[in-house]
Amino acid sequence: MIKIKVDAQDTSESVEQIKDIIGGEIEERWGQYTLNVSNDKANGIIRFITFDWGVSLLELDITFFDEVTIEVDTSNFNPISFYYCMEGYCGHKFGYQPEDEIKIMEQYQSVILTNRDGGITDRYFPKDVKISQSVIQVRRKPFLRKRLNQGEELNKQLYRVFLDTDHEKVFAYYGSYNLKIADVMAEIKKIKAKGMVRIMMIEGYVYQILSMHMIQHNKEVQNRRPQTNLLKRELKTIRNYVKKIEKNIAKDFSLEDISAETGLTQAKLQEGFKLLYNKTVTEYIRHARLELARDYISTTEMNISEVVYSIGFTSRSYFSKIFKEKYGISPSEFKNSKKSVVLAS
């Protein structure tokens, strides 16, 4: 087993202390730091970026070749941490708990944790399991000064955690599965922009993920946890099939065909789409087509008829009708408005 002790003052120093044990090199690009590791202990990356409003984003895409425990002394750095695993799983326990009380953070689960000052937090990573995880770390005092000026929007329980600026209390929340966060994390990985634009785009997604964690916690403390009989693998099947829909948007997807391909009943498909996307299957496909149509109109020279055909519609009048219902403007007006912006610039 690989044992790592961390008593850092910030995210950057934490990664440095991990590097001292598992090896690798840290490189910086546009304000984002990446620890690259490829040796007999681990293979992958640990990446982090720190924002000036008291928040940092730590991302792990790594496989450890032995079990790993990270013992974190929270005397110097004790943020509220919002965890989410896209792949794999890991464990956590507070130092005062018995050895056998490691709690597992499962794939797609929203988890919020913070310790008291001077406490010990143990992180556990399994052997030979690919971990893809985001950790949003919030320093309470700078965050309260710059961002949390609408605290009444939080439930009392979570708001008290943010107000505990002396770090006197332990807090642990293991929520239900949230595949919507996985979609946002995937968008971060797709960012191609460089420099300041890249950092600003990442910052926007961090806001979104943080708010999704908070909204979910709000709902669940009010006993509004999503009720479903679907298994995690069934939800994952639906999410994977959505990627297929988006890649083949012009195809005529029927509920019957999707059911046959996924092995899920039509009722389960409808339940899963409502749970994950707040839409029926048909509503989601139409939504995805309209979003792509808007992108085509905005970024290509295609005329409206070409756009209609490319996304799988056959009626231009029907397309124009639902486009205006969704965006409040006709496709032609939207296209002309984009031309005006280009000419003005």
Output the DSSP codes for 138-162. E-HHHHHHHT-S-GGGS-HHHHHHH
Residue 299, pLDDT score: 86
224-264 pLDDT, tens digit each: 666 677 887 888 899 889 989 999 999 999 999 999 999 99
Residue 133 near residue 88, CB atoms below 8 Å: yes
Residue 303 near residue 316, CB atoms below 8 Å: no
Mean pLDDT across 37-43: 97
Task: Find all residues with CB under 8 Å of 291, minimum gap 6, and list them.
Answer: none
Q: How far apart are CA 239 and CA 113, in angstroms?
A: 27
Residue 340, pLDDT score: 45
Beta partners for residue 135, in sequence order: 58, 83
Q: Is residue 323 scored above 90 in pLDDT?
A: yes
- pLDDT confidence bin for 148, thresholds 50/70/90: low
Per CATH, which fold does 232-344 belong to? Answer: Arc Repressor Mutant, subunit A (1.10.10)
Q: What is the pTM of this model?
A: 0.75
Q: Is residue 342 scored above 70 in pLDDT?
A: no
Q: Is residue 145 scored above 70 in pLDDT?
A: yes
Class of domain 2-221: mainly beta
Structure tokens at 285: 């496909």
Task: Find all residues with CB under 8 Å of 343, minimum gap 6, and list them.
Answer: none
Closest CA to 234 of 276, 183, 173, 297: 276
- Coil, strand or helix: which one is 332? helix
Run of H or E residues at 125: strand 120-125
Mean pLDDT across 338-343: 46
Domain ranges of the chain: 2-221, 232-344
